[in-house]
Amino acid sequence: MSIEIRELTVRYGGTVAVDGVDLDLAGGKIYGLLGRNGSGKTSLLSAIASYRKPSSGIVRIDGEEAFENPRVARRTCFIRDTLDLSDSDRLRTALDLAARLRPTWDGSYAAHLIEVFGLNPRKRVSSLSRGQRSAFGVVLGLAARTPLTILDESYLGMDAVARTLFYRELLDDYLRHPRTIILSTHLIEEVADLFERVIIMDRGRVIVHDETDALRGRGVTVTGPAEAVTSFVAGHAVLGEQSLGGVRAVTLDGHFTAGDIERGEAAGLSFGPIGIQDLFVHLTSQPLEASR
Ligand SMILES: Nc1ncnc2c1ncn2[C@@H]1O[C@H](COP(=O)(O)OP(=O)(O)OP(=O)(O)O)[C@@H](O)[C@H]1O
């Protein structure tokens, strides 16, 4: 589903959470939404999913205004870590409700996911551990198979094994049933390989929307003997660095020619792509004026 956002502002009293955002998502991709705490991710996603009326501006999904539009609502699934369920419900009841609400719901896939995550459908929502709640959110989000699926940090409570299972299921199911998926996350490096495009928010604005590969191409990591690294990086913006013994590894922003890389390699340096996390930290930790 394509998403067109124009001059979207979300305000809570005097707080501007989303500040005049324009964004076009062509759809049929997995998008990663990154941003520091309080940067406006949940507010933006709530407006896209029509959980919140924009203070001003508009969200159009497949050309139709999204807010209070039942056609759009049926085809959109928004999973938050709070799970919008009644605590006294059994998981089975929540699954039955989702099946009734969602024309695209796949009951046998839900049953498969319930088994993968070791959940018991007879249990009540109130009895789930934090990680199990997250896993159940993922079950509801993936089995809904809605053309627009939004997972807002919904899997952060899951342990590393469960998250790995989630990434595998997400990718497998997406390849079999391509759709538009937006994931917001703080576990940047862990999920960056899933994203085809990355959106970075900072203080209510979208400061980056680009292909993940293009972002990785925005800089390099340089590793090698400390002295050789130091002379190579002179004059470039350093995004991150690590040293161990006499070896230094530095992440640099900027474009490097094949000649630059060849000269570096001749000096004993090795080069790799930039980490999305390093780029993210660099772009979102600057004063407002410098990050624009
Ligand atoms: N219901 C609310 N009432 C008042 N202010 C709110 C409300 N929800 C969010 N805010 C404020 O809006 C801003 C953006 O919050 P939002 O939850 O959208 O950010 P976020 O990027 O999702 O943050 P996090 O990564 O911490 O979840 C913050 O300053 C927050 O304090």
Q: Where are the domains of the chain?
A: 3-214, 219-273
Calculate how far, in angstroms, residue 136's C-alpha sits from the geometric centre of ligand 1.
24
Q: Is 204 in the pocket of ligand 1 (CB under 6 A)?
A: no
**Distance from residue 44's CA to the centre of ligand 1 (Å):** 10
pLDDT in 10s for each residue of the chain, 292 residues: 899 999 999 999 999 999 999 999 999 999 999 999 999 999 999 999 999 999 999 999 999 999 999 999 999 999 987 777 787 889 999 999 999 999 999 999 999 999 999 999 999 999 999 999 999 999 999 999 999 999 998 778 899 999 999 999 999 999 999 999 999 998 888 888 899 999 999 999 999 999 998 888 888 999 999 999 999 998 888 888 889 999 999 988 888 888 999 999 999 999 988 888 888 888 887 655 443 3
Predicted complex: ipTM over 0.95: yes
3-214 CATH pick, 3.40.50.20, 3.40.50.200, 3.40.50.300, 2.170.190.11: 3.40.50.300
How close is the Cα of 143 to the center of ligand 1, in Å?
28
**Burial 39-49, CB ≥16 within 10 A → b, else e:** bbbbbbbbbbb
**Structure-block tokens of residue 217:** 């191409």
Q: Are 272 and 217 in contact (CB under 8 A)?
A: no
Look up the pTM and report it.
0.88
